[in-house]
Amino acid sequence: MSEFVDPAQAPAAPSAAQEGSKLSGVRQPLRLAILEAERVLSAAGVASPRADAELLAAHLLGVERTKLMMVPLVDPPVVEALQDLVRRRAARVPLQHLTGSAALGPVRLSVGPGVFVPRPETELLLEWGLAALDGLESPRVVDLCTGSGALALGVAASRPDAQVHAVDNDPGALGWARRNVDEQVAAGAAPVRLVTGDVGDPGVLAELDGRVDLVLCNPPYVPEGTPVPLEVRNHDPHGAVFAGRDGLDVVRHVVACAARLLRPGGVFAIEHDDTHGGSVPALLSARRSFTEVVDHQDLAGRPRFATARRRDAAG
């Protein structure tokens, strides 16, 4: 006679990945491990569970995401390592912290705790800036609030003839920027000059006043109290994300700094919050030194960055 088991107390049926892990030493289908990872991440509310599962697997295996189909079977330790990464991602540790890198345009940057993770939206700002440099030889470029050095290194990789300067006031961020500059230079890229300074200091880069062709900036711009994803709230540095009640505390200083640095005819591009589609262009238009003020949308149709040109001296 078999013992009665209360269905409510019966153990849950094992997942495909758990079932496979019992077969010690037996290679297992990577496809099933990725499906299980997707299920866990989806249940945790991760925005892109399938993509994150595949990117974590590709990171572990040292292959491009598009080449995963060429790895049909993996050893049990690989499945266990993937499960560990998935647990951490389900706890909303940023994907880029787990893989140790983030891409922006032509460069891949080392990132981790203590530095803002570059976002894909910022590539539009970089593309605009590079297009603005067309026809200029050996341009001078400044990246304000550089963080990981993403924009500065994106320019240096695309325009090795450029003289690129990058400014930040956070020693932690500058440590990551230094690491990224050193890695890119070791790979053959053009150097970037890193400067410790605050955009609110009228003396920062004073030797370049009126001599810069392009100023780029992705500053802190989120209004305090704005709900943000757990990855941002718990892992991005607060000071790299939030900037006062209206989110414009740093932007105001950046606008003044750019006006001082740019030569007549030089151009400026600054990323902003999607609630700033009117306020940031208004800040630029309020300064007589700027003309051709335009606001630009991201790929989702949201206001994302504003641009302007330094008025000619005769203007």
**Domain membership of residue 260 as a residue range:** 99-310
Give the Cα separation of 267 and 271 in Å (integer).
14
Residue 165: strand pairing partners = 142, 193
What is the DSSP secondary structure assignment for residue 190, as one 8-state letter? P
Residues 86 and 103 in one domain: no
Domain count of the chain?
2
Residues 115 and 190 in one domain: yes
Question: Which of 75, 91, 107 is the endpoint of a domain?
Answer: 91
Question: Model confidence over 96-118: pLDDT tens digits?
Answer: 999 999 999 999 999 999 999 99
Q: Tell me which residue of 161, 141, 137 sits closest to 149, measured CA to CA.
A: 141
Looking at residue 238, what is its pLDDT?
A: 97
Residues 202 and 277 in one domain: yes
218 is in an annotated binding site: yes
Residues 216 and 269 in one domain: yes
Looking at residue 272, what is its pLDDT?
A: 98
CA distances from 141 to 76, 153, 312 (A): 50, 11, 18
Question: Model confidence over 71-101: pLDDT tens digits?
Answer: 999 999 999 999 999 999 999 999 999 999 9
Looking at residue 24, what is its pLDDT?
A: 53
What is the CATH number for 167?
A: 3.40.50.150
Give the Cα separation of 91 and 52 in Å (integer).
13
Question: Which of 72, 91, 110 is the endpoint of a domain?
Answer: 91
Residues 24 and 142 in one domain: no
Residues 177 and 228 in one domain: yes
Q: Roughly how many angstroms between the first and final C-alpha of the chain, as a whole number? A: 98
Residues 81 and 230 in one domain: no
220 is in an annotated binding site: yes
**What residues of the chain score a pLDDT lower than 50?**
1-14, 16-17, 19-23, 314-315
Specify if 5 maps to a domain.
Answer: no
Which residue type sits at 21?
A: S
Range 171-185 burial, b when 16+ CB lie within 10 A, else e: eebbebbebbbebbe
Residues 57 and 205 in one domain: no
Question: Which of 30, 64, 91 is the endpoint of a domain?
Answer: 91
Residues 104 and 239 in one domain: yes
Looking at residue 312, what is its pLDDT?
A: 86
Question: Model confidence over 18-52: pLDDT tens digits?
Answer: 544 444 568 999 999 999 999 999 999 999 999 99
219 is in an annotated binding site: yes
Residues 205 and 166 in one domain: yes
Give the Cα separation of 255 and 259 in Å (integer).
6
Q: Tell me which residue of 121, 140, 296, 141 sits closest to 216, measured CA to CA.
A: 141
